[in-house]
Amino acid sequence: MRLKGLAPYVAVFIVLAVSNACVAQTMPGSAAFIQRADVVIAAQGESGQPLPVSDPRVQALIVVASDHAVYGDVPLTGQDVPRVAEVALRSASLLRTYMLDTSPAPGSPDPQEQPLTNMRRYQDVIFPLMTLSVYSGAHSLSAMELALASMPESQRPGAMPGLRQVRQGMAQMLAGVLRLPPDSVLTPAHRAALLAAASETAPVVASSLTLKQREDVFRMAFRATRVNPSDERDMFEKIEHAFESKECVGLCAYPD
């Protein structure tokens, strides 16, 4: 999986401006994630390079970098959009630092192999953050739908550029997951977690995209279902079925 396919994980999230919005208290672990992420980001800024995965500050971050730890089981509201963005943008900053690291690694002198090398040596922090990013994207879309529904109609056009960019980013994010070859650099546990996140969030993401975007993802999911191992077929089929739908309601109904 090349860096280009992973780039959407880095840049997908755009803060949607919501009129008169305040931060709702429905994300129990967001404060811990944000605080620990800020510690790692600050340390990396001082050193100019990624912290080792073994660093206690990174390990403390990984512990809280999961959907359940950050978001819990309470449904989000439109007022949660800014808070979801805070989580997502920190994930993006960390992913960018680790995936774009240019420091040489033992046994990999070829610069063209650097992205693959980074994913291999940093995967214990990269892929938990990627998995969280998939969930963050779905939560963001759900909260956006509620926020837009509560906006005066005259104000909605101003939110469309942000929605357009999030749609594009989410479609590209799923495309990156669907292109993962079975023999990728991921450990089985990281691959399973990432695929589970993609399949669990597929209905929300599919209903938020335009029909054209949905069709493009469906084609990739259709192929992935047939070329990946049989023990993963259920997850790929769930993605395929979600994007097969032609129903256009909710966020899908908003113009691109």
For 37-87, write each residue's pLDDT tens digit.
999 999 998 878 899 999 999 999 999 999 999 999 888 888 888 889 899
SS3 label, residue 108: strand
- Return the pLDDT at 203: 96
pLDDT at residue 15 greater than cutoff 80: no
The candidate with the shortest Cα–Cα distance to 33, out of 14, 6, 60, is 60
Alpha-carbon distance of 138 to 209, in angstroms, equals: 11
- Return the pLDDT at 109: 57
CB 214 within 8 A of CB 44: no
Q: Residue 63: what are its φ and ψ, rounded to 5°?
A: -60, -35
For residues 108-122, one letter each, b for 16 or more C-beta atoms within 10 angstroms of the residue's C-beta and e for the rest, the string is eeeeeebbbbbbbbb
CB 204 within 8 A of CB 138: yes
Alpha-carbon distance of 38 to 90, in angstroms, equals: 8
pLDDT at residue 2 greater than cutoff 80: no
Domain residue limits, the chain: 3-253
Residues with Cβ within 8 Å of 235's Cβ and at least 6 positions away in sequence, in order, are 195, 196, 198, 199
What is the pTM (predicted TM-score) of this model? 0.87
User: Out of 129-133, 158-162, 216-220, 231-235, which region has the weakest mean confidence (pLDDT)?
Assistant: 158-162
Alpha-carbon distance of 49 to 52, in angstroms, equals: 9
User: pLDDT tens, 144-179?
Assistant: 899 888 889 888 888 888 888 888 889 988 998 999
Residue of 1 and 84 predicted with greater confidence? 84
Alpha-carbon distance of 72 to 30, in angstroms, equals: 9
Average pLDDT score, the chain: 85
